[in-house]
Amino acid sequence: MEAYLLDWANLLMRWLHLISGVAWIGASFYFVMLDMSLRKPAKAGDSERGVSGESWAVHGGGVYHSQKYLAGPRGEPLSEHLHWSKWEAYTTWLSGMGLMAIIYWFGASTYLIDPQVRAWTVPQAVLLSIGTLVVSWFIYDGLCRLLGSRENLLAAIVFVYILLCDWLLFQLFSARAAYIHVGAVMGTMMAANVFFHIIPGQKKMVAQIHAGEEPDPRYGIIGKQRSVHNTYFTLPVLFIMISNHYPMTYAHAHGWLVLALIMMAGVLIRQYFVLRHINRHKLWLPSAAVVLLLISLVWLMPKPAAQGAVSISFQQVQPIFIERCVTCHAQHPIQPGFAQPPKGVLLETPEQIKQHAVLVGQTTQTRYMPIGNLTGMTDEERQLVVDWVAQGANIDE
């Protein structure tokens, strides 16, 4: 019953995370587009009123006219009815931490810890997981405070730091958990940017405007910088959110480097669209992204399993399935933490094994299954299963 309830908690929290993430990233993309699309006000009177830029758009059967005031309107009061874009960010991060707790902290022995990487105890692994997120925020925030005026240098160092986290996390946790933690590190930075800098700065500026004071431009500069960082984090984070469905990426022996290539592709694609908003079409950016993805595709391509002169019979591999796979992939799993077979895959009968043979071969070869190698499949057993699948997965003896 506990595993069943956890599955429901996982489902509902994941749904909330997806919905709030769509809202947050959608708002982020929209405001970046809006900011980059601003033109000089057509009316001289608008500039005198404090308008620094404007944009006209058509959508949903209507025409919209947006104007930006760097320091609020001049000669007229600032409206009390302001829209604040913050709860999308907070809900996304909180629901993400909820998923982290349900899957990787509560299920640390299954999903977070890989004894072949580091044999942590559950408390050690969970504390290290939390500590990684906290420490990474302070390092990132410190870099921004120290190098805030040197944009290019700051961006380069932050990128190198993310790559360092990527590599280091693969030395600490399971490959799947390492990917998710890289995403959680960036997601924490993004949400903390909103919570600690963007929203407080905006509140101070609004308070100064309402008090009739000239707002401190520092708050706008800092908020803009952190917003720009957030928009470049979005595509890598979105990939990581779906990555656990694609073990071919993180289960690779150099999964951290695979993630680095894909994240770089995401940054290049995002940069293309940011520049496109100001009619600068740098086609080399998406072209370079495609090259990186093609490199990843070719590099990750499974190597043909050795056919071997000796034919492998089903009788040789069936005990491996019974001992290493059926504990989870059964109608009624006996492995703690599983209320139902993962992804509905059953491997109890020869016919079921034959039905899923291709998937079994792929996930066994990439070492994704057994997950976290919970059942202790040996390299010899793994190779035997892979070769049997390559020979046609024959169950008729």
Record the pTM.
0.86
- Of 219, 197, 198, 196, which is closest to residue 208 (Cα–Cα)? 219
Compute the distance between CA of residue 397 and CA of residue 315 in angstroms, rounded to an integer: 8
Domains of the chain: which residue ranges? Answer: 2-36+85-300, 40-76, 314-390
Contact 173, 129 (CB under 8 A): yes
Contact 342, 328 (CB under 8 A): yes
* Mean pLDDT comparison of 53-62, 183-192, 273-282, 301-310, highest-scoring range: 183-192
Question: What are 204's two structure tokens?
Answer: 């101070």
Percent of the chain with pLDDT over 70: 97
- Of 201, 193, 183, 99, which is closest to residue 137 (Cα–Cα)? 193
Q: Does position 397 have pLDDT exceeding 70, yes or no?
A: no
Q: Does position 354 have pLDDT exceeding 80, yes or no?
A: yes
pLDDT band at 313 (very low <50, low <70, confident <90, very high): confident
- Of 263, 220, 203, 187, which is closest to residue 25 (Cα–Cα)? 187
Q: What is the mean pLDDT of residues 275-298?
A: 95
How many residues are recorded in the chain? 397
| Residue indicated by tokens 């293309």 | 272
